[in-house]
Amino acid sequence: MIIAIGHEVPDTDSVVSAKMFAFLLKSEGKESRPAVAGSLNGETEFVFSSLKEEVPLEVTEKEIEECEFFLVDHNDLSQSVAKKESVYGVLDHHLLSGFKTDKPLFFRVEPVGSTATLIYKMMKERGVEVEKKHAGLLLAGVISDTLNLNSPTTTSEDIDSYYQLSEIAGIDPNNFAEEMFEAKSDFSGKNIKDVIRGDMKEFDFGGKKIGVGVAETTSLKYFQEKEEELKSAVENIKKEEGFDAFFFGVVNIIEQNTLLYPAGEEERRVAVEILKGEDKGSFLFLEGVSSRKKQIAPPLSEYYNK
């Protein structure tokens, strides 16, 4: 049994990609099922309930011990539940983490805006029909990761997938995106620490454990109201997780910029020098930055690996 699975702290692209990649493997006669590596965020829950699709089950300890895994939407084992020995293949669009193997395996990474775009491309390459309900799921992955084609990670392939999938799904993509982003931005009643942990990634850069959390939102209100709480939560999470450095970015989806909260003075210095942040006291303002994958992780990787 091959389990298709996305990264820990799953986002929409990683969940729809796991579901659709398992479907692709199955359509080729391989025994496969999708799983998720944690509970879903509000946006992903909205996507699955509005499309009336079944959410993949959470992976179990037993499966982690016994099954093979196809990693989608990640290739960094520090973001995975899978152990190195049980990795069967990788399909991804993130920076390479230096993952080494003892045996040859399927490995496909392309610098496109979403893993969903890659899966749609593979389905076309392999002559697998894209059903209406599946097109909706893949479209959600493209919308989520490219911020409705506004992120600098967006490629012409994402744009083509977006329009073709909208057509097959019979969905107005702008309306769907608006509803998804509203669901994503609804932090009401949520604890600030849970929000920070809601989309947090761990990186191994030059042997250092670096954490970068982001919250994508159409409204800054929640974060402005809780700024003091937010600053201490960022410091506490750094300690609790044992990060060597930790950053938390509030990404304004509408304006396409980021307010970056550093966990300490060293992070503040790095944010100013390396990420070119404008020091606003509580946070660093990152003009035109909306992508951790393309605009935050690469310069940090380069800096810490030096």
The footprint of Mn ion (CB under 5 A) covers: 13, 73, 115, 145
Residue among 92 and 267 whose Cβ is closer to Mn ion: 92
Min CB(264)–Mn ion separation in Å: 29
Residue among 41 and 270 whose Cβ is closer to Mn ion: 41
Min CB(300)–Mn ion separation in Å: 18
Min CB(73)–Mn ion separation in Å: 4
Residue among 13 and 202 whose Cβ is closer to Mn ion: 13
165's CB contacts (< 8 A; 6+ apart) are 120, 130, 135, 136, 138, 139, 142
Residue among 42 and 206 whose Cβ is closer to Mn ion: 42
Element (H, E) at 247: strand 245-252
Residue 211, helix vs strand vs coil: strand
49 burial (CB, 10 Å; 0-12 / 13-18 / 19+) is exposed
SS3 per-residue string spanning 174-208: HHHHHHHHHHHHCCCCCCHHHHHHCCEEEEEECCE
DSSP states of 133-162 = HHHHHHHHHHHHHHTTTTSTT--HHHHHHH
Provide, for the chain, the percentages of residues in helix, strand and coil under a 3-state DSSP scheme, each rounded to the nearest 5: 45, 20, 35
Residue among 139 and 263 whose Cβ is closer to Mn ion: 139
Min CB(142)–Mn ion separation in Å: 10
294: number of Cβ within 10 Å: 18
Asked if 42 contacts 183 with a C-beta cutoff of 8 angstroms, the reply is yes
Asked if 120 contacts 130 with a C-beta cutoff of 8 angstroms, the reply is yes
Min CB(230)–Mn ion separation in Å: 25
Min CB(125)–Mn ion separation in Å: 19
Residue among 63 and 145 whose Cβ is closer to Mn ion: 145
Residue among 73 and 267 whose Cβ is closer to Mn ion: 73
Min CB(267)–Mn ion separation in Å: 25
Asked if 112 contacts 157 with a C-beta cutoff of 8 angstroms, the reply is yes
Residue closest to Mn ion (Cβ): 13
